A = this chain, B = another copy of it.
Amino acid sequence: FEKIVNVVICAAKDAKKLGEEDPRRVIHSFKVGLAITLVSLFYYFDFLYEGFGVAAMWAVITVVVVFEFSVGATFGKGMNRGIATLLGGALGVAAHRLASFTGENAESIILGLSVFWISALATFLRFFPKLKARYDYGLLIFILTFSLISVSGYRDDEVLEMAHKRLSTVLIGGSAAVLICIFICPIWAGEDLHNLTATNIEKLAVFLEGFGREYFETNKGNKASLDGYKSVLKVKGNEEVLVNSAKWEPGHGRFRYRHPWGQYLKVGRSIRECAYKIDALNGYLNSEMQTPMEIRSKVQESCTKMSSECSCALRELAKGLKTMTRAMSAEPHIRNAKTAAKNLKSSLQTSLWPDTDLLDIIPAAAVASLIVDIVSCTIKIADSVHELACL
């Protein structure tokens, strides 16, 4: 019994954390409850119920399965469901009518074969990556509606009415879901994506800002504060889902319809590339092979310069992204970083390193070359962000 209490307490704590992390989750839950309750009013008011009968349940089902966290996802699913029901229903009615011209036995064989072939074909279509990304749900509903309508053993006019009822209840449920999703505290996938991108750039900037201090100075106090970039490494799948959802969204806030959402994937790729370099750099911060400070100090100036200039450039880019302006203020920082990279190269070329052990130099050299790589990654990020601003 005590165990159960413990589980409940743990779950409650988790729930509180989930809710505090993103209060929109709580709001979303209430929105779903509200939408289902509203649509289920169909059953309470007799004049509505008489029109649709049992088919009214399709409205409830549609709300439950279509209502997603973001407006884009809900809209996409609703559109998929609506159009697929229309197409599947039409094709089902057509198959039914076609088969009914033949005799009773031939009819069921023809219908069975058409269900078999059409559902096999539609299932195979779901493997196409492009269709899978945006129309997977629609294909599922298409198979569903087609099978239900075409095999139902009713008379012709009943099938038509059934298809009609199914379509209108699905439309009612779908629009209820979409309307509630849009008009009560909307959660836009596009805005989430935009903010995610800006936050990720900032996280890189935070690391680069702290890195110089951490690596070249002896006081290693607050190292945990540099781990923020790690979440950047994980977000890829999430980003693609957000892009696919955002493509369904109408214009909202600062984003017009057909905002170049695809470009965010490109920006995301260059951000992740930079994050991997940073991860490698972080490895040297925590490495056991400690490079003597006098060697580090030889590359200190240019490395610190590069990392802090990159950090400033990234901060400017993130700010520009947030305000949706072209961040020209990043340019000078990038120029400075490039100059510092050149200086580093020349400081390595001159024989400043008389009697040092090569094994001691290597980690410092690797750090320096990683930072040079990060400068070019920063340039890539800046280019893709500028491209986004121009599209």
- Interface readout for A128-163 with B: 1 if CB under 8 Å, 0 if not? 100000000000100110011001110000000000
Cβ of A124 under 8 Å from chain B: yes
> A275 to B278, alpha carbons, bound, how many Å?
16
User: A130's closest neighbor in chain B, by CB?
Assistant: B14
Near B by CB (< 8 A), chain A positions 333-364 give 345, 348-349, 351, 353, 357-359, 361-363
A22 to chain B, nearest CB (A): 8
> A148 to B173, alpha carbons, bound, how many Å?
13
Is B120's CB under 8 angstroms from A153's CB? Answer: no
User: A366's closest neighbor in chain B, by CB?
Assistant: B366
Chain B positions within 8 Å of A25 at CB level: 124, 127
- For this complex, into which size category does the number of interface residues on chain A fall? 35 or more
Chain B positions within 8 Å of A152 at CB level: 43, 57
Cβ of A328 under 8 Å from chain B: no
Is B116's CB under 8 angstroms from A36's CB? Answer: yes
Chain B positions within 8 Å of A65 at CB level: 140, 144
Is A40's CB under 8 angstroms from B140's CB? Answer: no
Select which of B57, B119, B140, B348 is within 8 A of A358 by beta carbon: B348
Residues in A lying within 8 Å of B, measured CB to CB: 11, 14-15, 18-19, 25-26, 28-30, 32-34, 36-37, 40-41, 43-44, 49, 54, 57, 60-61, 64-65, 108, 112, 115-121, 123-124, 127-128, 140, 143-144, 147-148, 151-153, 236-237, 276, 279-280, 345, 348-349, 351, 353, 357-359, 361-363, 365-366, 368-369
